[in-house]
Structure 1
Amino acid sequence: MDTLFRLVSFQPDQQSFNSSRTSSSSRSSKQANHPLYHNQYTTEEDDEECCNHNDANNNSDNVYMDEDDFSSSSSSKQYYYPYAHQHQPPASATTTITAATSQPQHQTFEPAEFSYPQGFNLDADVDFTSSGKWASEVLLDCARAVSGGDTARVQQLMWMLNELSSPYGDANQKLSAYFLQALLARMTSSGPRTLRTLAAAYERNCSFDSTRKTALRFQEVSPWSTFGHVASNGAILEAFDGESRVHILDLSNTFCTQWPTLLEALATRSDDTPHLRLTTVITTPGGGGAAVAAAVMKEIGARMEKFARLMGVPFKFQAIHHTGDLSGLDFDSLGAPADGDEVLAINCVNALHGVGSGSLRDSVAAALRRLRPKIMTIGFRETLRFFSAYFDSLDESFPKTSNERLSLERAAGKGIVDLVACGTEESTERRETAASWSTRMRTAGFSPVSLSDDVADDRGDPSAAGVFLSWKEQPVVWASAWKP
């Protein structure tokens, strides 16, 4: 089945989608829906990602949830009752509950089987059929009730979510299950503790082999990671053309999956192969994870050096482990050239959102500007619609029994708890839109660099700040290149 790819050029002065041309590439016929690149995309410069706390200004307890955060695409799968819930329905409720057994028993859920408690009404007419988006509607209604302090309605809605959600169901059920967990943690002020528990569970099951297998499998079935890698590597290769000594400061959480293709491209250049120095910064929150990251990166570094020798590329690798976000990093020492001829490229993939909002992000952008890189590449997930699109794409890309899929979903669930239930001090999911980061980069003294024709053959305005990868018309991943 052909997949249509259309590039989305980010242009902050426009307010519409305008598609021009498309190109085709072959993809597996097993996937019913495919990512799309769109030609002209612009978005309003929104505030930070919804659900974040507003403690810095007024200690508000409002839960900011936009409809796009939860909107989930249609699914062809049936709904299932989750097994043995902790919450019992109100006395006036009439619904069928499966008795708990030693093994989870899932029963097919039909909309007609579900009935509301007496006196219970939703603000919207929720469609519980397989084509409906009931998770987004019920979650938004619940968020409004939490913000408004309507305790009775919160209890009713959470009972409903508990009845309908399941981490083993379809995209709607998973989305509601993880957001329900986050809302409960938010209401009980247990967000940081819940996040530490989830992180500890992840560490117990994390190893180099499992990390490598999950990352490679995700790249195989989904272009979300590959898109950013290709765009960034193309810009870096173009900037390094003719240089003999190059240094890449890698601020990312991709476990170096981006760099083997770059090493291969450097090895096949027509001119002399340059000396490459790669410095990878691994950030871990104060709650832990440093030991696991160190063990994984040690093995990755050894494999990178072996691959560089195989490719005939003079190579030096260094992994820097930093506790906390990037705002506390000494960029001046990391970006210092080893000699006068060395040129610098900075690569930021899914890392900048972990920096504290406001002045801290401005300071990081200014610090990166002081390093005077020849090129700086940025890639991150456009999270206004990320979680719903993410669960939807995993649902269609992985088999239901995939361990890699379960690992990715649990990592997303941890991110949802971080986003919804943790305050400014503990959160590492302080998201902003591409428009906000584009403005910040220009303010810091950077100007956008157009991606080369080798990276994108369908582009809009060459001066546009980056391109998007979209899933079902929803921009998900943003990639851009900048120069001082």
Structure 2
Amino acid sequence: MAEKDSNKIHHLLWMLNELSSPYGDCDQKLASYFLQALFCKATDSGHRCYKTLISIAEKSHSFDSIRKLILKFQEVSPWTTFGHVASNGAMLEALEGEPKLHIIDISNTLCTQWPTFLEALATRNDDTPHLKLTIVVTTSIVKSVMKEIAPRMEKFARLMGVPFEFNVMSGLNRLGELTKESLGVKEDEAVAVNCIGALRRVDVEERKGIVQMIKSLRPKVVTIVEEEADFSSLRNDFVDCFEECLRFYTIYFDMLEESFPPTSNEKLMLEKECSRSIVRVLACDDEIDHGGYSERREKGTQWSQRLQESCFSPVSYSEDVVDDVKALLKRYRAGWSLSIPTTDDSGIYLRWKDQPVIWGSVWKP
């Protein structure tokens, strides 16, 4: 570690130590998590700490606890449901009239997006299409619960009367290993690729390759939803990366603080997830070999540039989809809003207290 960075880290350690408490208020908890990450950075113990945190999470996370967490989070915040509604609407419009659908879901949503999609298919005016859903998972926590999710999805599809095939790809160590051949796409299938909170898990050097692989599938539509933060271009300047990380998680913790009761177990679980991510961003390099993945988020403008360089074209959300998203936000507490940039048509933003936090977009090759 360079002496300049070392001096900056020790100064930040001193400041955070004055404020931090793992049992305090929002600011004190956040300071505690950043203090832990900075200590790991200063002592070159980031990988060891991160592996320990992941191991603890794997042992304490059951299917029921994760399911309860996801449903409660969706109940109190549109952080995830924003992407579900926007992406489902775009895919339903792009795939209308197709008899055979193949959705490749490269996400971390644990299939919570798909019941409403199946309901929409079942109530369409035209003949109900056959849906093949391929779920791509790489994180160990997600792998452990997919065996519980599969029969539930199949049962729900039967109840909806939708011809359904459900596949799980769980043999990958990282998304960069995904290939066209492994996905089993057939010539008579209309393909959609759904990426919600997924592309940031691809190593930065492999992102162009995964975008090209998606293009090779010749999808009718690609939906991409990512958190609005830049931990990628700033990684070579530790202080800039630290400030961006602090900015993003301060907004996130503020949202959690106002959305959940103070003693909520679900809130605590989400905060602990953040603590792992903060260690991953600030104290680990991009290579990690135990249940880890890249935390090098990029902003919507950065993803847009990469996609357009790979000959993808942005597609504007229809007025109907935008209206659905606006209706969704009305279900939640004040503070949430939708932003539609006027300078281009490559995406929309979910905002918390006027700060963009989630970017949603639609693309065609």
**Which residue in 2 is equivalent to 1:344?**
191
**Which residue in 2 is equivalent to 1:387?**
249
Contact residue 332 and residue 371 of structure 1 kept, 8 A: no
Contact residue 104 and residue 191 of structure 2 kept, 8 A: yes
**Which residue in 1 is equivalent to 2:106?**
251
Instruction: Tell me the CA shift for residue 335 of structure 1.
Output: 5.0
Match of 1:439 among 271, 289, 305: 305
Instruction: Tell me the CA shift for residue 322 of structure 1.
Output: 3.7
Contact residue 244 and residue 273 of structure 1 kept, 8 A: yes
What CA distance in whole angstroms lies between the structure 1 residues aligned with 2:296 and 2:4?
20
**Which residue in 2 is equivalent to 1:214?**
69
Q: Is 2:324 aligned against 1:469?
A: no
Contact residue 166 and residue 174 of structure 1 kept, 8 A: yes
What CA distance in whole angstroms lies between the structure 2 residues aligned with 1:156 and 1:440?
36
> Structure 1's 191 and 148: CA in aligned 2 closer, same or farther, altered over 3 A?
closer
2:347 alignment partner AA: G
What CA distance in whole angstroms lies between the structure 2 residues aligned with 1:203 and 1:454?
40
Match of 1:479 among 345, 360, 365: 360
Structure 1, residues 293-317: CA drift from partner, whole Å, max 9, x if none? 3331111111111111111111111
Contact residue 26 and residue 254 of structure 2 kept, 8 A: yes
1:429 alignment partner AA: E
Instruction: Tell me the CA shift for residue 473 of structure 1.
Output: 1.3
Instruction: Tell me the CA shift for residue 434 of structure 1.
Output: 1.1
1:368 alignment partner AA: I
What CA distance in whole angstroms lies between the structure 2 residues aligned with 1:364 and 1:335?
16
Match of 1:408 among 259, 263, 270: 270
**Which residue in 1 is equivalent to 2:174?**
325
Instruction: Tell me the CA shift for residue 460 of structure 1.
Output: 5.3
Instruction: Tell me the CA shift for residue 325 of structure 1.
Output: 2.2
**Which residue in 2 is equivalent to 1:83?**
none
2:97 alignment partner AA: G
Instruction: Tell me the CA shift for residue 361 of structure 1.
Output: 0.9
**Which residue in 1 is equivalent to 2:42?**
187
Query: Number of paired residues?
Result: 330
Structure 1, residues 363-422: CA drift from partner, whole Å, max 9, x if none? 111111111000000001112443111111101111111111111110111000000000
> Which SS does the other structure have where 1:202 is aligned?
helix
What CA distance in whole angstroms lies between the structure 1 residues aligned with 2:223 and 2:12?
43
Instruction: Tell me the CA shift for residue 428 of structure 1.
Output: 1.5
1:371 alignment partner AA: L
Contact residue 102 and residue 185 of structure 2 kept, 8 A: no
1:466 alignment partner AA: G
Instruction: Tell me the CA shift for residue 354 of structure 1.
Output: 1.5
Q: Is 2:139 aligned against 1:293?
A: no
> Which SS does the other structure have where 2:320 is aligned?
coil
Where does the alignment leave 5 or more consecutive residues of structure 2 unmatched?
231-246, 327-339
> Structure 1's 315 and 148: CA in aligned 2 closer, same or farther, altered over 3 A?
closer
Structure 1, residues 125-146: CA drift from partner, whole Å, max 9, x if none? xxxxxxxxxxxxxxxxxxxxx7
**Which residue in 2 is equivalent to 1:11?**
none
Counterpart mapping for 1:75-474 below 5 A: 147-150=4-7, 155=10, 157-284=12-139, 289=140, 292-334=141-183, 336-337=185-186, 340-358=187-205, 360-384=206-230, 385-426=247-288, 428-457=294-323, 459=340, 461=342, 464-474=345-355
1:383 alignment partner AA: A
> Structure 1's 184 and 258: CA in aligned 2 closer, same or farther, altered over 3 A?
same
Give the fraction of aligned pairs with identical amino acids, expressed as a percent.
54
Greater helix fraction, Structure 1 or Structure 2: 2
CA RMSD of aligned residues (A): 1.8
Structure 1, residues 272-324: CA drift from partner, whole Å, max 9, x if none? 1100000000112xxxx2xx533311111111111111111111111111443
What CA distance in whole angstroms lies between the structure 1 residues aligned with 2:294 and 2:194?
19
What CA distance in whole angstroms lies between the structure 2 residues aligned with 1:221 and 1:305?
27
> Which SS does the other structure have where 1:252 is aligned?
coil
What CA distance in whole angstroms lies between the structure 2 residues aligned with 1:476 and 1:331?
32
> Structure 1's 159 and 348: CA in aligned 2 closer, same or farther, altered over 3 A?
same
What CA distance in whole angstroms lies between the structure 2 residues aligned with 1:264 and 1:148?
53
> Which SS does the other structure have where 2:346 is aligned?
coil
State the structure with more CA Rg: 1
> Which SS does the other structure have where 1:482 is aligned?
strand
What CA distance in whole angstroms lies between the structure 2 residues aligned with 1:414 and 1:335?
34
Where does the alignment leave 5 or more consecutive residues of structure 1 unmatched?
1-60, 63-145
Structure 1, residues 156-196: CA drift from partner, whole Å, max 9, x if none? 65244224212222221122111110111111111111000
Instruction: Tell me the CA shift for residue 429 of structure 1.
Output: 0.4
**Which residue in 1 is equivalent to 2:330?**
none
What CA distance in whole angstroms lies between the structure 1 residues aligned with 2:4 and 2:159?
58
Contact residue 103 and residue 191 of structure 2 kept, 8 A: yes
What CA distance in whole angstroms lies between the structure 2 residues aligned with 1:383 and 1:323?
26
**Which residue in 1 is equivalent to 2:235?**
none
Structure 1, residues 207-230: CA drift from partner, whole Å, max 9, x if none? 110010000000000011110000
What CA distance in whole angstroms lies between the structure 2 residues aligned with 1:279 and 1:178?
36
